[in-house]
A and B are shown apart, each in its own frame.
Chain A
Amino acid sequence: MNFDFTDEEKNFFSEIEKTMETVAENRNFESGDLDTVRGNLVEALTALASSGYLKLGLNAEDAPVTGTLPLMAAMEQLSGISPSLFLAVEMSTRMFGQVAALGQEAGKGTDILSALAAGKTMGAVALSEQSVNVENDPLTTTATREGDELLVNGTKSLVINGPLADWFAVVGMLDEKAAVFLIDKKTPGLKLTDRQRTMGYDGVAISGLELDGCRVPADRVLGPFDAAPFLEQLKLWENQILIASSLGLMQASYETARDYAKQHRSGGKPIIAYQEVGFKLSEMLTLYQTARLYAYRAAWIADENPKEAGVLTLCAKVFCTESAEVVAGKSLQIQSKDGYLAGGKAERSYRCAKYGQIAGVSTEIARVKIGDAALGRL
């Protein structure tokens, strides 16, 4: 048992934080038109590439740190800088990257992965359709074989990085199993919908995708895989990203509230001196610090005991995403009218927090799965 990171890991985390703080000085990552968002992402990816951050979790031999736990801690650094930037970077690098890496053994997609690790390309995973719950509602995106190519048809929604991605990992059905079709943005038959606006993550470019007879060469097809375990794996990766995102939201919410409470005076004293405020901060910190440990342990078990990883990651995901909303809410309350004004970290975190509970495996479905694990064979 050891609750410390190594010095090498700590130095790496610190480097990520410093690098991104420098990039963040000159940019607002939380809003903007597509050109602005693209510019933000390009600059961030370039900075992150130089540190090796983009290689984490992608089986790269020269990754600066290895293992899911250091990856989680590294992601935590980025999520503390900007929720929108974090989600965009991670859905490209980790989500798209890990999906694309499924073809590594067969020599597929290595060119894409190299460019991804170098910050030279952006990816998007197109999974959700009418429902985010792809386990209960079968995927309707399908592919049929035509010679050496596959014809892909379907409609996807809520594709993070959709408007900006160079590559799409489209998840659909092939021969009654799940497969991934790596599709270049210029492929005929691939059409993006208008940018989808969401409650939070204002600095993320999201769109839908329509695939009408998109031709995909065989060497850009990964799988097919048995659908259930494959979708479970995708959701695990997404959940890990959402867990890390929640940590960043809590950090921002807690720190702004704490700093505000120490400076803002009422009745002749800083408001932190009032128990109503001090106690809220204590509750916030309790949830935030517990969430961090929870995230680390869930990441650790993903490598140590993959069989247990599914349930524990779901536990961590429920805890962290729900805590993020609570912590952000208390932060708003402490900051009163100042917290309620648009543009603040607390109100942004509050708007972003709900996504974590909906995306990946929703908290409702997560609880059902955790409950089922407790029940065993029923």
Chain B
Amino acid sequence: MDFAFTREQLMFKKEVIRFAKKEIVPRVQEHDLKEAFDFESFRKMGEFGLLGLHFPTEYGGEGADVVTTVLAGEALGEAGVDGGLTLAYGAHTFLCADTLFRNGSEEQRRKYIPKLASGEWIGCMGLSEPDAGSDVASMTTTAEKRGGSYVLNGTKMWITNGPIADVAVVYAKTDPDQAHAGISAFIVEKGTPGFTPGRPLIKMGVRTSQTSELVFSNCEIPAENLLGNEGEGFLYAMQTVEWDRSALLAPFVGVTNYMLKKCSDYAKGRVQFGRPIGKFQAIKHKLADMRIFGEAARTLVYRIAWCKDQGRPLNHLEAAIAKLYIGDWSLAVTNDAVTLHGGYGYTHEFDVERIFRDTRLAPIGGGTSEIQKMIISKLI
């Protein structure tokens, strides 16, 4: 057993941090305040190779392994990139592009992956609905086969990148009488008649990611836009869980390091009662808890990434444990970070308040903590 990264991986991590600090982080606060998506940073991430890191080079990717890809996510968090942008990246690369790559035909891969890997196009995944969140199999969006087309009707909700996506992987029922086995996956491009992305929702956190409904009203798409086979959509959606439990959680590991540094710096500089507040045990205690959480989160995430690199089937128990732990336990440390900063922590002057708001999504998005507990208790 060996927890070491390779030298190349560590060097790559440093490069990503350097890139992010220079090209992305200076604009984070501004975009968070304006609730605006940072297109410029996203494109730069594409140019740097981040958006297609794990895709083969012949599709415009970098051919990186899973651990390296996950490490890039950690690096973004550690650099100070906000949760909104890392969420947008995660949804684009892992929920949309990867699903397309893994299950699409060669023609579909050639058509979409290079554009998605470069960031020329932005992708999203439409799975959840207003009345089908945790219980996704109860979705009511339908896809009716009519000759050489499918006609989609329904509404998707909570779709990251929804308002700005050029292409969406959309899940709909080709057999409404079935539950999971009735779900199929489709590729829908922006501008398709009958497809209307909703207006961006105003959210508590991850504000730089644009989230909306996707509305389908007799939206007709060519039959060749079916992704994979009919009735296998749910399986494709569940395949994204591996990424959800590693690459999409990795920024939380990184942001914990970032927060620890910020909090330490503040604790050293802020003087009260004649001494830096870092001298008080209560403050050291909070810093310690941040470190303790971060180290725990790190091993959970990389175990999943490493197993994926070995080609092992997803261990659903380990995946649920990782999501549950990071989702629930991250709240306490971000809360501590705000408290440590006192009044300043409650303002936009320091980014701990943004991190606190962003992190609140952790036990909700990608499968709530309650769902993880349900999964775990069923598996034991």
Contact = CB atoms under 8 A, between A and B. Distances in A.
B362 to A, nearest CB: 14
B3 A279 contact: no
Interface in B299-336: 299-300, 302-303, 306-307, 317-318, 320-321, 324-325
A3 B2 CA distance: 6
A286 B376 contact: yes
Contacts of A342: none
Nearest to A283: B373
Contact of B377 (A272, A319, A364): A272
A375 B267 contact: yes
A278 B370 CA distance: 11
B268 interface: yes
Interface string A282-313: 11011101100110110011001000000110
A119 to B, nearest CB: 28
Given A366-B288, A371-B287, A294 B278 contact: no
A311 B288 CA distance: 10
Contacts, number: 135
Given A290-B300, A293-B303, A2 B380 contact: no
Given A315-B292, A366-B288, A371-B283, A1 B372 contact: no
* Most B CB within 10 A of own CB, among A3, A282, A285, A290: A282
Contacts of A312: 295
Nearest to B293: A319
B11 interface: no
B143 interface: no
Given A2-B306, A258-B380, A367 B284 contact: yes
A290 B376 contact: no
A296 B298 CA distance: 13
Given A286-B325, A293-B300, A368 B288 contact: yes
Nearest to B263: A374
Contacts of A69: 1
A373 B294 CA distance: 14
Interface residues of A, number: 45
A281 interface: yes
B209 to A, nearest CB: 27
B5 A282 contact: no
Nearest to A293: B299
B1 A4 contact: yes
Nearest to B290: A374
A375 B287 contact: yes
A371 B307 CA distance: 33
Contacts of A340: none
A315 B298 CA distance: 13
Contact of A3 (B1, B284, B291, B296): B1
B272 interface: no
B288 A370 contact: yes
Given A294-B299, A300-B1, A319 B292 contact: yes
* Most B CB within 10 A of own CB, among A275, A296, A370, A374: A374
Contacts of A304: 3-4
Contact of B288 (A2, A282, A290, A371): A371
Interface of A: 1-5, 69, 258, 272, 275, 278-279, 281-283, 285-287, 289-290, 293-294, 296-297, 300-301, 304, 311-312, 315-316, 318-319, 364, 366-376, 378
Q: Which 4 interchain pairs have the tightest Cβ spacing?
A: A371-B284, A278-B377, A370-B288, A282-B376
7 contacts: A275-B377, A282-B373, A282-B377, A286-B321, A371-B286, A374-B288, A375-B284
Given A293-B303, A368-B288, A375-B284, 15 more contacts: A3-B306, A278-B374, A278-B377, A279-B373, A282-B373, A289-B321, A293-B300, A364-B281, A370-B287, A370-B288, A371-B287, A374-B287, A374-B288, A375-B267, A378-B279
